[in-house]
Amino acid sequence: MVGFIQARRLQSKHRDTGLVPELETYLQIRRDTSGLKPLIDFLEYTLRIDFPEEVINHPVMQALKDCTNDFTTWSNVSKSFSEAFLP
């Protein structure tokens, strides 16, 4: 949750100052502000899935979490974009 709160503060600061971050920075902030990182952890807990640390920290597992986050987050951006700019 700390990462989520920090990312929301940074996003707000960028909005207030008009700063547009570089793509890689934006992607990381977007992943953190989506709320999916704590949700995935919460699902693992509630479903009683107890992965060993080496599985949780494995690069493939981290990439899978990032891809899941991106798919959900960017779907939301695409919908907002199309509603705002397309007839």
Residues whose CB falls within 8 Å of the CB of residue 10, separated by 6 or more in sequence, listed in order: 29
d(CA 21, CA 64): 24
6-61 pLDDT, tens digit each? 888 888 888 888 888 888 888 888 888 888 888 888 888 999 988 899 998 999 99
Domain residue spans of the chain: 2-85
d(CA 51, CA 44): 8
62-74 pLDDT, tens digit each? 999 899 888 888 7
d(CA 5, CA 62): 20
Q: 69, 36 in Cβ contact below 8 A?
A: yes
Tell if the pTM clears 0.75, that is, is over it.
no
